[in-house]
């Protein structure tokens, strides 16, 4: 029975804290907060001032513009990205704007023809580096006019000589990202990468030297397996020749972080192989000598966040047994020590030092709280202090109505962790719902989920099981490898069914009213389950893989998927590729299923959903299809989010 405790309408109306920056004086932070606009059709972001010592937050920007990505200049002025335009309505592209004081009006620092997608100030030098799109072969003075002309009359032709050609939800454009440097007052523009095409993969991160001498950014180049290797390259801000800092064969480097003196570079490295997925390791490189070493003694996949003030250690986050804590890494020994409290659990992101304070600031969230700004000490097992409730969510309103537990399940002698969330009080046994996460190389962590929010399910009376089966991170490399090499439906299926057994025996669950749902890899598992068992009353698959041999050539990263299959070729090795393909076992499918998909999804193309829908309909299976023509791999528009939840739980309700 649906309750008023929490629903999709409540979910979309919460504010979303997306990013923050701490002022150079260390007394306050600028926080970007997205809110639902007046029509309820999209989110717009404002900037807020939050005192680090505690106290009420004050709104800094407002209006119809989208103000994001706060970053402080060395003198304390606040830079940010915005699509605002003086005296006019917001425009399509963003520029860097500067707010000198809380009561003043912001002024534009850049006027890039195709807009700015990211930027950084140097901490102690008059330098600004931004990422801007550039049309190749077009003079700088003609970029804006040429872009408008092509938008209005064409041509719209895109040409490719190698894959990939698409990424998530868009065709790779002719426009290419360039690194542009300025003085931090917006003067002295210089294109640091005048010949760049698509090699700069800025979404993987970039870092500006604190002293304004260089920027370190990613540079991709094709390898012999048709996958790009990604190096980290130093681009001098004076226009000198770029120098590769760190790279390796069949490796991707990302998340670069520079030490306070600009000498040391920390980054992640993942080395791919058809034989194994391989760990994500932490690499430390001496910028001056180019000598790199992999830090030892690390049992988890670490993402570096910031160096300690003395440069001797590094703060990072990692998946760890269903949590995402803050850890300190000793750069000499590689030893880890946990910073955030084990007792408080939770998920941390965007960790940074508070200048002159001796503490860390971070975004913190957990199952019952959206992300909020928090501070915590740098010693072991520090308890966080949450500074804001900018989301507008009152955790106390739901805390007594939801019971969340963690359980370790033995599967073939292997421990598998599973989260369970259930209504705290139930008059009679209700339905159970197994949620399988995507990835597959991620984990269900104690974190807030905008897309798969357990409170929506619990409020409708479901007890939810969220297992971390084969392929999950945070439990050792052996579990990650359990799905590599074309074994997607093997051990993972047994793990999910073991979690289902545990769910069915819980006091508040009716064992005959079980459902399963998942997205992406989780959607694949929902389809695989449909061909292997009739135990569930209903299935929901969102953006799920269905025909592995076809998917291998239509996804936006064919070579990556073939590598994950152990180097199999869908033409030469078709029978082996389809070993765990749900389409191969369709005749055994009996369970009612809802298929959900976004038409603009290029990671898992909608052809997977259409083929599945047609094949099941021909076999007389109770199947429904829900398509979002304006969405991609995720459902992002607020009203579509509500429609997604309503359709999914209406379908589940009719069958459970």
| Strand order across the beta sheet in which 43-51 lies | 16-22, 28-36, 43-51, 58-59
* Residue 2, pLDDT score: 44
Beta-carbon-side half-sphere exposure of residue 290 (alpha carbons within 13 Å): 10
Has residue 183 got a pLDDT over 60? yes
* Residue 299, pLDDT score: 77
Stretch 381-409: mean pLDDT: 93
Q: What percent of the chain has pLDDT over 70?
A: 98
* Residue 90, pLDDT score: 66
Per residue in 439-474, pLDDT tens? 999 999 999 999 899 999 999 999 999 999 999 999
Per residue in 214-251, pLDDT tens? 999 999 999 999 999 999 999 999 989 999 999 999 99
- DSSP class of residue 101 equals S
pLDDT band at 89 (very low <50, low <70, confident <90, very high): low
Has residue 88 got a pLDDT over 80? no
Stretch 299-321: mean pLDDT: 94
Instruction: Specify whether the backbone of 293 is left (phi greater than 0), alpha (psi in -120 to 50) or beta.
Output: beta
Query: Where do the DSSP E strands lie in 483-621?
Result: 509-519, 538-542, 593-598
Q: Are 74 and 125 in contact (CB under 8 A)?
A: yes
Q: Are 173 and 197 in contact (CB under 8 A)?
A: no
Q: In terms of Cα–Cα distance, which of 525, 557, 552, 324 is closest to 443?
A: 324
Give the whole-angstrom CA distance, residue 510 versus residue 608. 33
Stretch 515-524: mean pLDDT: 98
Q: Which of 24-33, 229-238, 266-275, 336-345 has the lowest mean pLDDT?
A: 336-345
Q: What is the dihedral of CA 75, 78, 83, 87, to 10 degrees?
A: -80
Has residue 197 got a pLDDT over 60? yes
Domains of the chain: 305-399 (no CATH), 400-655 (3.40.50.1820)
Stretch 379-399: mean pLDDT: 90
Q: What percent of the chain has pLDDT over 90?
A: 88
Beta-carbon-side half-sphere exposure of residue 44 (alpha carbons within 13 Å): 16
Burial of 239 (0-12, 13-18, 19+ CB in 10 A): exposed
Cis peptide before 411 (omega within 30 of 0): no
Pairing of strands 509-519, 463-467: unpaired
Give the whole-angstrom CA distance, residue 571 versus residue 555. 15
Stretch 41-47: mean pLDDT: 96
Per residue in 428-440, pLDDT tens? 899 999 999 999 9
> What kind and span of H or E run contains 384?
none
Q: In terms of Cα–Cα distance, which of 551, 444, 549 is closest to 496?
A: 444
Has residue 3 got a pLDDT over 60? no
Has residue 425 got a pLDDT over 80? no
Has residue 207 got a pLDDT over 70? yes
H-helix segments, 44-109: none
Using DSSP's 3-state secondary structure scheme, residue 58 falls into strand
Stretch 391-414: mean pLDDT: 94
Cis peptide before 440 (omega within 30 of 0): yes
* Residue 297, pLDDT score: 66
Has residue 1 got a pLDDT over 70? no
Strand partners, 129: 120, 181
Q: In terms of Cα–Cα distance, which of 506, 612, 603 is closest to 555?
A: 603
Per residue in 137-179, pLDDT tens? 999 899 999 999 999 999 999 999 999 999 999 999 999 999 9
Per-residue burial over 348-367, b = 16 or more CB atoms within 10 Å of its CB, e = otherwise: bbbbebbbebebbbbbbbbb
Per residue in 573-629, pLDDT tens? 999 999 999 999 999 999 999 999 999 999 999 999 999 999 999 999 999 999 999
* Residue 92, pLDDT score: 83
Q: Taking each helix axis as running N to C, give the angle between helix 491-504 and helix 521-532, from 0 to 180 degrees, rounded to the nearest 10.
A: 80
Per residue in 333-375, pLDDT tens? 888 999 998 777 899 999 999 999 889 999 999 999 999 999 9
* Residue 4, pLDDT score: 56
Using DSSP's 3-state secondary structure scheme, residue 381 falls into coil
pLDDT band at 96 (very low <50, low <70, confident <90, very high): very high
Taking the alpha carbons at both ends of the chain, their separation in whole angstroms is 11
pLDDT band at 556 (very low <50, low <70, confident <90, very high): very high
């Amino acid at each position: 029975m649906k309750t008023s405790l929490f629903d999709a309408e409540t979910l979309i109306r919460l504010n979303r804290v997306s990013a923050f920056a701490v002022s150079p004086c260390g007394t306050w932070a600028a926080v970007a907060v997205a809110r639902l606009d007046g029509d309820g059709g999209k989110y717009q972001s404002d900037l807020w001032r939050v005192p680090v010592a505690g106290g009420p937050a004050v709104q800094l920007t407002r209006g119809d513009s989208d103000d994001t990505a706060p970053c402080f200049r060395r003198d304390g002025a606040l830079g940010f990205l915005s699509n605002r335009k003086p005296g006019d309505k917001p425009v399509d592209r963003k520029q860097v704007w500067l707010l000198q004081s809380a009561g003043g009006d912001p002024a534009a620092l850049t006027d890039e023809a195709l807009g700015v997608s990211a930027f950084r100030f140097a901490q102690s030098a008059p330098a600004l580096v931004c990422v801007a799109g550039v049309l190749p072969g077009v003079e700088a003075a003609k970029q804006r006019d040429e872009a408008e002309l092509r938008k209005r009359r064409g041509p719209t032709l895109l040409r490719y000589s190698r894959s990939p050609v698409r990424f998530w939800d868009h065709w790779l454009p002719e426009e290419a990202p360039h690194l542009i440097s300025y003085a931090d007052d917006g003067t002295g523009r210089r294109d640091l990468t005048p010949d760049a095409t698509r090699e700069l993969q800025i979404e993987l991160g970039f870092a500006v030297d604190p002293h304004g001498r260089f920027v370190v950014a990613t540079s991709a180049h094709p390898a012999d397996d048709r996958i790009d290797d990604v190096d980290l390259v130093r681009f001098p801000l004076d226009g000198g020749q770029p120098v590769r800092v760190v790279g390796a064969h069949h490796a991707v480097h990302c998340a670069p972080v520079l030490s306070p003196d600009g000498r040391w570079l920390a980054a992640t490295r993942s080395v791919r192989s058809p034989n194994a997925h391989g760990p994500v390791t932490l690499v430390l490189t001496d910028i001056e000598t180019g000598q790199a070493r992999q830090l030892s003694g690390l049992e988890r996949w670490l993402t570096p966040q910031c160096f300690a003030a003395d440069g001797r250690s590094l703060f990072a986050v990692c998946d760890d047994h269903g949590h995402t804590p803050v850890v300190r890494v000793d750069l000499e020994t590689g030893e880890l020590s946990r910073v955030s409290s084990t007792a408080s659990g939770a998920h941390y992101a965007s960790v940074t030092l508070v200048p002159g304070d001796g503490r860390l600031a971070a975004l913190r969230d957990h199952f019952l709280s959206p992300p909020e700004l928090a501070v915590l000490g740098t010693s072991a097992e520090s308890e966080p202090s949450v500074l804001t409730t900018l989301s507008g969510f009152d955790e106390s309103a739901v805390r007594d109505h939801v019971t969340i537990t963690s359980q370790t399940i033995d599967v073939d002698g292997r421990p598998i962790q599973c989260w369970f969330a259930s209504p705290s009080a139930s008059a009679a046994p209700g339905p159970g719902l197994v949620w399988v996460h995507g990835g597959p190389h991620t984990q269900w962590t104690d974190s807030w989920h905008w897309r798969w929010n357990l409170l929506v399910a619990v409020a409708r009376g479901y007890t939810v099981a969220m297992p971390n089966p084969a392929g999950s991170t945070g439990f050792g490399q052996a579990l990650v490898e359990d799905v590599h090499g074309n074994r997607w439906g093997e051990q993972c299926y047994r793990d999910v069914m073991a979690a289902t057994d545990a769910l069915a025996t819980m006091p508040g669950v009716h064992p005959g009213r079980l459902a399963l749902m998942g997205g992406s890899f989780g959607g694949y598992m929902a389809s695989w389950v449909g061909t292997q068992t009739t135990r569930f009353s209903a299935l929901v698959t969102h953006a799920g893989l269905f025909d592995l041999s076809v998917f291998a050539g239509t996804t936006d990263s064919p070579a990556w998927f073939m590598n994950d299959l152990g180097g199999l070729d869908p033409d030469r090795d078709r029978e082996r590729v389809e070993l765990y393909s749900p389409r191969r076992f369709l005749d055994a499918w009996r369970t009612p299923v809802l298929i959900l998909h976004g038409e603009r999804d290029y990671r898992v193309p909608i052809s997977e959903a259409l083929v599945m829908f047609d094949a099941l309909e021909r076999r007389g299976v109770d199947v429904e299809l829900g398509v979002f023509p304006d969405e991609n791999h995720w459902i992002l528009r607020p009203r579509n989010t509500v429609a997604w939840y309503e359709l999914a739980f209406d379908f589940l309700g009719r069958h459970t």
